[in-house]
Amino acid sequence: MELQKKHETWFSRVSNAVQTNGTLINKYWAQFFREYDFLVGVSLDGPKEIHDKRRIRNNGRGSYDAVMRGIQHLKNEEVPFNILTVIHEDNVHNAKELMDFYRKQEFTYLQFIPCMDFRSQEVNKAPQYHITPEEYGQFLCDVFDIWYNDGNPNISIRFFENMLAVYLHQTPELCQHREYCPTTLVLEQNGDAFPCDFYIHEDYKIGNVGTDSLEDILNHPILQNFSKLKPSIPEKCQTCPFLKLCNGGCPRNRDRKNPQETEYFCEAYKMIYQYVDKRMQMIANRIKKEQLLHYLNSGYPKPERNQRCLCGSGKKFKKCCQQLL
């Protein structure tokens, strides 16, 4: 009962604030996010002159100032947030400008999303893409040069951190890089549940949190079928040298009529994977060496030469991390 009262108080605070203040995130929302440990994604496409070209509010003005006010509220309440930047015609050639801006603003958790024009409800309709794979690939390469920072990255960029996880023999957390689409629930405001926000369609509805148990939703046959979408990769992917990093990308970007075609951004991925390989390997080796030294300095015995390496590569120690010592 007390919890319900608390929720009602929050609800009335945030809804009143929304009515009286046009800024989407105000101090009450920020306090609410802090209270319930939210990690917030903030859409920001770069500095004002870039952001305001496309992100227009009902009053016809750009939303940049409101977004920055919202970010200030998040900072004031120490709510963790990531900047989500959609990459489109107006910023795809401005990697340095974007990175300089984010650095100046001290935004250190960044995600880039290539612009796709589609409706999640129209799952059978191919998206329209606003940038070419070559443009996106070049953008990622330019950003990588800044992120790399002489082998000591100090900004979190989700795409590169997921790549690095693969070099460290870990499973990436970003769905596009994984072997299977992860089990995630996307909830609509009426409680309807779907497996991915690109698939908000009756054919993919796996229940409703108001009427179905979580167990039933997670065991729904549609969810089981959905999980087979990503591993059915085209033959070209099966022989691709970057398969471990990419796993065929996102099924929503594949052409349903040509299942043997690779996903739309394939060339972008090949560009970036090729371009960064040596430097990623260097960062991964440094981290592996640090971890091994920490392990040995903690008093654990050095593995035998023919023992399986501790880093998870599956190789013998002598063929792997021993060479880093």
* # residues near ligand SF4 by CB under 6 A: 22
CB-count burial class (<10 Å; 0-12, 13-18, 19+) for 86:
buried
User: Residue with structure tokens 């909830």?
Assistant: 187
Shortest Cβ 133–ligand SF4 spacing (Å): 9
CB 127 within 8 A of CB 252: yes
Does 85 help bind ligand SF4 (rule: CB under 6 A)?
Answer: no
Single out the segment in contact with ligand SF4 by CB under 6 A; choices: 59-67, 111-119, 262-270, 300-308: 262-270
Calpha distance 52→62 (Å, rounded): 4
Does 48 help bind ligand SF4 (rule: CB under 6 A)?
Answer: no
Does 196 help bind ligand SF4 (rule: CB under 6 A)?
Answer: yes
Q: Which of 102, 251, 264, 317 binds ligand SF4 (CB under 6 A)?
A: 251
DSSP letter at 323? Answer: G
Does 244 help bind ligand SF4 (rule: CB under 6 A)?
Answer: no
Does 181 help bind ligand SF4 (rule: CB under 6 A)?
Answer: yes
CB 272 within 8 A of CB 144: yes
Residue 29 or 265: the one with the smaller Cβ distance to ligand SF4 is: 265
Does 163 help bind ligand SF4 (rule: CB under 6 A)?
Answer: no
Q: Which of 88, 116, 176, 207 binds ligand SF4 (CB under 6 A)?
A: 176
Shortest Cβ 253–ligand SF4 spacing (Å): 7
Does 295 help bind ligand SF4 (rule: CB under 6 A)?
Answer: no
Strand-pair partners of 208: 192
Q: Which of 262, 264, 317, 321 binds ligand SF4 (CB under 6 A)?
A: 262
Distances from the Cα of 241 to the Cαs of 177, 261, 277, in angstroms?
14, 17, 11
Does 249 help bind ligand SF4 (rule: CB under 6 A)?
Answer: yes
Does 236 help bind ligand SF4 (rule: CB under 6 A)?
Answer: yes
Strand-pair partners of 85: 112
Residue 172 or 248: the one with the smaller Cβ distance to ligand SF4 is: 248
Angle at 96 between CA 94 and CA 97, to 5 degrees: 65
Following DSSP, what letter does each residue of 272-311 receive, concatenated?
HHHHHHHHHHHHHHHHHHHHHHHHHHTTPPPPPTTSBPTT
Does 114 help bind ligand SF4 (rule: CB under 6 A)?
Answer: no
Does 269 help bind ligand SF4 (rule: CB under 6 A)?
Answer: yes
CB 73 within 8 A of CB 28: no
Residue 40 or 186: the one with the smaller Cβ distance to ligand SF4 is: 186
- Nearest residue to 176 via CA among 95, 276, 259, 254: 254
Residue 168 or 186: the one with the smaller Cβ distance to ligand SF4 is: 186
Does 276 help bind ligand SF4 (rule: CB under 6 A)?
Answer: no
Calpha distance 292→305 (Å, rounded): 14
Does 248 help bind ligand SF4 (rule: CB under 6 A)?
Answer: yes
Does 175 help bind ligand SF4 (rule: CB under 6 A)?
Answer: yes
Distances from the Cα of 54 to the Cαs of 50, 51, 61, 141, in angstroms?
8, 6, 10, 24
Single out the segment in contact with ligand SF4 by CB under 6 A; choices: 35-43, 148-156, 239-247, 276-284: 239-247
Task: Using the CB atoms, write b or e for 218-255: b if 16+ within 10 Å.
Answer: eebebbeebeebbeebbeebeebebeebbbbbbbbbbe
Known catalytic residues?
197
Does 270 help bind ligand SF4 (rule: CB under 6 A)?
Answer: yes
CB-count burial class (<10 Å; 0-12, 13-18, 19+) for 144:
buried
Q: Which of 116, 240, 283, 321 binds ligand SF4 (CB under 6 A)?
A: 240
Binding interface with ligand SF4 (CB under 6 A) = 175-176, 181, 196, 198, 230, 236-237, 240, 242-243, 246, 248-252, 262-263, 266, 269-270
